[in-house]
Amino acid sequence: MDEGGHACPKCRGDMEEGWVADMEHGATFQSAWVEGEPRSSWLGPLSHRKSTSGCTARWIRSYRCTQCGYLELYATEKLP
């Protein structure tokens, strides 16, 4: 992904980089894209255990148009 600015595909406004917050139990985390279908555990939350499913997770990079609010999301580098 190009690090420089780019134009919004909807209105041609300026896009600014940001990130998608995932808030849980008072804590804030950066959201990630996860390959494959989500799996439920017996406790209820979704699981993507890499050791059992072999799935890949990537950080989400986000861009927001400063004029119309359009969002673009990109799955970037793999999570450690």
- In the chain, the number of structural domains is 1
Does residue 3 fall inside a structural domain?
A: no
**pLDDT tens-digit series, residues 38-76:** 777 666 666 555 443 456 888 899 999 999 999 999 998
d(CA 66, CA 48): 34
Give the chain's mean pLDDT.
Answer: 80
Domain residues for 24? 17-35+51-78
User: Token pair 């940001």 is at which residue?
Assistant: 18
Does residue 2 fall inside a structural domain?
A: no
Q: Is the pTM of this model over 0.85?
A: no
CB 73 within 8 A of CB 30: no
